[in-house]
Structure 1
Amino acid sequence: MSCIVRRSYRSLAKIAVERRSETMKCPVCGAGQLVWDTRDVRYGYLGKETMFPHVTAAFCTKCDEYLVGGEEADRVQKAMRAFKNSVRKISPAVPK
């Protein structure tokens, strides 16, 4: 499963958040529908994997993509950066 947080999809995630009650097609595969749910999601980097618990997002019913928006996107991206840094054996930056 992968997370769509690339800049080009951030506006789609925002739209998905705003339209939670509406049915939306997956922007990646075009075949699935986006369904809002809270799930534990796996994330891999350089052959290592971790689990991010309780991610609330729009998950595709057909492919492994999901869209996160708002504060949840910030939380997931921060966790991804921390995991990447730990895999690369680099200390995470200390928040100001």
Structure 2
Amino acid sequence: MTHPIEARPLEVRSDSPWSSSKRVYPSGKETNPMRCPACGAADLIHTTHDIPTDYRGVSAIISAVTCEFCPACGEAILDREQGDRYGRMVGQFRHQVDDQHPL
């Protein structure tokens, strides 16, 4: 059974500096995309994904997680803000599962 975890959606703008093959930082500096550190097979893509998680046989989707995503292997690399948010959401999900299915 999948339990959706509601999260406030993040705004994705079409004028994002991540929408091209080069990243443009606020300083105006451009850099090429980073290769996936997990598989090395593809460049990472800055995007927003729903990330599945499982705990004690129960599945959930953590929605709208902005990350650097590898289209080859599925690796998702989160910045600190998104990592903290993802961790909180997974913690909430685990508490829900523990409350509904005590050992």
Calculate the TM-score normalised by the size of structure 1. Answer: 0.63
Q: Does 1:56 align with 2:52?
A: no
Separation (CA, whole Å) in 1 of partners of 2:97 and 2:35: 34
Offset at residue 88 of structure 1 (A): 2.7
Match of 1:41 in 2: 51
Structure number with higher helix proportion: 1
Structure 1 residues without counterparts, runs of 5 or longer: 1-19, 91-96
The higher-RCO structure (CA 8 Å, 6+ apart) is 1
Offset at residue 84 of structure 1 (A): 1.9
Percentage identity across paired residues of the two chains: 31
Match of 1:17 in 2: none
Calculate the TM-score normalised by the size of structure 2. Answer: 0.60
Q: Does 1:27 align with 2:37?
A: yes
3-state DSSP of counterpart to 1:62: coil
Q: Does 1:81 align with 2:91?
A: yes
Match of 2:11 in 1: none
Structure 2 residues without counterparts, runs of 5 or longer: 1-21, 24-31
Q: What is the RMSD of the two structures over their aligned residues, measured on CA atoms?
A: 1.9
How many pairs were matched up? 71
Offset at residue 66 of structure 1 (A): 0.1
Match of 1:5 in 2: none
